[in-house]
Structure 1
Amino acid sequence: MHDALVTILDDEPEIRQILTDVLQDAGFRTQSFARAREFEASLKRQTPDVCLVDLSLPDTDGLALVHRLALERGAAVIIISGRAQVQDRITGLELGADDYITKPFDPAEVVARIRARLRTGARSAAQGSTTAQFNGWTAHFDRYLLEDGDGQETAFSHAEGEVLRLFLESPKRLISRAQMQEALGGAAGESFDRAMDVRVSRLRTKLREDPKNPRLIKTIYGAGYIFLGDVRWN
C-alpha cells in the first residue's frame, strides 16, 4: 500500500504542495499536475492507484474528466473540491467518483480516505479471483467489463465494480446500507446513499434488468439490497 502512486490534479500550487507533502510523509509516491492536459498525458504512460481531482479546472470540465476516469481507468477517483453543496457531491459520486472531499480539508483526512480506498482494492485483490459467472453473465474485474452469453461486452466503472463485487461475494444475503458504507468507505450520509442507489441502478441497466421488477438485484426497502444470482468465481 505504501508504494501506491497518487496523482494530484489541482490548479492551485499551494494545494498541490500541501497534498504532496502530506502524502509523501505518509509513504505514498506522488505526481502533481496543474492542467488536465498534462494529467491525461501522464495516464497514457501509467495508471495511478488513486487520482485526486479538483473540479474547478482552467482547461476542462472536472466532472466530465471524473466520468472518463471512472469508465476508462482502473484507478480510484477522489474529488477534492471547493464545491460543498450536497448536489455537487451527489453528482460527482453519480458520475463514478469513489469519494468526495470538500475544501478546506484536513490533510490527515485525505490520507485516511486514500488508505480506505486502497484497503478496499487490496481486499478485492486478496480474493485472488478476477472473474465471476452468474446467470448467463461474466464479470471481468481485471478489465472492468460485463460479458453476456453472446460475448457482448459492457464497461463498468471502478465504483460500480466495487458494488458488483460486494454483491457477488455475498449472494442471497441482505447487504445493509451500513455494511456497504463499511465495506466501500467514504462518508456516510445522503450523498453516499444516493451514490449507492445510482450505482445499483446503473448495474441493473447494464444487466438488462426490468427496473420495476429486477430479478438479480432486489431492493429491500428500509434495509438494503440482496443479490439473488447463482455465482461461480474463477
Structure 2
Amino acid sequence: MADDQSLITILEDSREIRDLLTETLQHEGFDTLSFARATEFERNMRGLKPDVCIIDLGLPDRDGLSVVNTVASNSGAAVLIISGRSNTQDKIVGLELGADDYITKPFEIAEVVARVKALLRRKAPKAEATLSKIVRFNGWTADLEQHLLTSDDGKVERLSFAEGQVLRVFLSKPNRLITRDQILDDLSNGESDNFDRTIDVRISRLRAKLHDDPNNPKVIKTIYGAGYIFIAQVG
C-alpha cells in the first residue's frame, strides 16, 4: 500500500479514464483529486501540494503542454503525462517543459501505478543521504523540500521537481566529476530512460536560475566527454 500522505491529482477530460485512474490509485492507498478541465485544475492547485500530477495533453479548454509547464515551474510535484500523442517529438517537448515521465494511450493501468510509485520513490530522500533539506552554497540557500532557491539579497527562484533533483545530486557531490551515467542512475533508478533525453535541458535551466553564464559557467562546469563538476562551497 502507498503512503496515505501521498496526493495524486488527475487532469483528464475522459470520464471513463479519469474514473479508472481515480479508483485504481485509491485502491492502492493514494489520496486523489480529479479534474476534467485545466481551468478547474489550476484554480484548485493554488491550495494543494500534490506529490504527483497526472496530466492529459488533449484537454477541451487548453493545451495540456502549457499546464505541464505551469505545474513544473510553480510546484514541487512530479508530472506524469498520459496522452494519445505518441510521436517522439511530443514526448520530448513534454519532457523539456518539465514532465518527469510520459505514457501513451492506450495504457495498462498497472503500468500507470508502477510509474506513479517510481516517481514517489524518486521524490523520497535516499536512506543513505545526509544532505540537509536546507543547504547553503555560493551565496544561495536551497530549500530542497520546497524546491526554492534564495539568493543572499533575497531574490527567490522556484525550481521544478526535475531541476530540484539535479541540484540535489550536484550538492551531494560538490567539486568532483559526476558522469552522465551517475546522474541518470541517481535520478531514474533505472526505471525510465525519459530523463536521458532532456538532461542537458534541465541542467541548462538550472544554470540559468543560478545565474551561471552558459558561455563561461563558474558553477556547473561541463567536462566534455566525461560529465559535470559542481563548483561550490557547500555548508
Secondary structure at the counterpart of residue 81 of structure 2: strand
Structure 1 counterpart of 2:8, from 6, 9, 23? 6
| Partner residue, 1:60 | 62
Instruction: Measure, in 2, the Cα distance between the counterparts of 1:10 and 1:127.
Output: 38
Instruction: Measure, in 2, the Cα distance between the counterparts of 1:179 and 1:104.
Output: 33
| Partner residue, 2:36 | 34
Instruction: Measure, in 2, the Cα distance between the counterparts of 1:196 and 1:151.
Output: 28
| Partner residue, 1:117 | 119
Structure 2 counterpart of 1:211, from 211, 214, 221? 214
- What displacement does 1:127 show? 5.1
Letter of the structure 2 residue corresponding to residue 34 of structure 1: A
Secondary structure at the counterpart of residue 228 of structure 2: strand
- What displacement does 1:57 show? 0.4
Instruction: Measure, in 1, the Cα distance between the counterparts of 2:226 and 2:115.
Output: 26
Asked whether the 8 Å contact 1:53–1:79 carries over to 2, the reply is yes
Letter of the structure 1 residue corresponding to residue 52 of structure 2: V
Structure 2 counterpart of 1:164, from 144, 167, 171? 167
Asked whether the 8 Å contact 2:76–2:159 carries over to 1, the reply is no
Instruction: Measure, in 2, the Cα distance between the counterparts of 1:178 and 1:105.
Output: 29
Note the 1:85-104 alignment, pairs <5 A.
Answer: 85-104=87-106
Letter of the structure 2 residue corresponding to residue 187 of structure 1: S
Asked whether the 8 Å contact 1:9–1:54 carries over to 2, the reply is yes
Runs of 4+ in 1 over 3 A off after TM superposition: 124-128
**Structure 1-normalised TM-score?**
0.89
Asked whether the 8 Å contact 2:131–2:172 carries over to 1, the reply is no
1:172-205: CA deviation from partner (whole Å, max 9, x where unpaired)? 23333333333222521xx522311111001111
**Structure 2-normalised TM-score?**
0.88
Check 1:192–1:144 CA distance in 2 against 1; reply closer, same or farther (3 A cut): closer
1:23-71: CA deviation from partner (whole Å, max 9, x where unpaired)? 2232212222211122223223322211100011001121111111112
Secondary structure at the counterpart of residue 123 of structure 1: coil
- What displacement does 1:128 show? 6.9
| Partner residue, 2:50 | 48
Check 1:115–1:95 CA distance in 2 against 1; reply closer, same or farther (3 A cut): same
Check 1:110–1:149 CA distance in 2 against 1; reply closer, same or farther (3 A cut): same
Asked whether the 8 Å contact 1:117–1:184 carries over to 2, the reply is no
Asked whether the 8 Å contact 1:35–1:59 carries over to 2, the reply is yes
Q: For structure 2, which runs of at least 5 residues remain unmatched after alignment?
A: none
Instruction: Measure, in 2, the Cα distance between the counterparts of 1:44 and 1:147.
Output: 21
Secondary structure at the counterpart of residue 192 of structure 1: helix
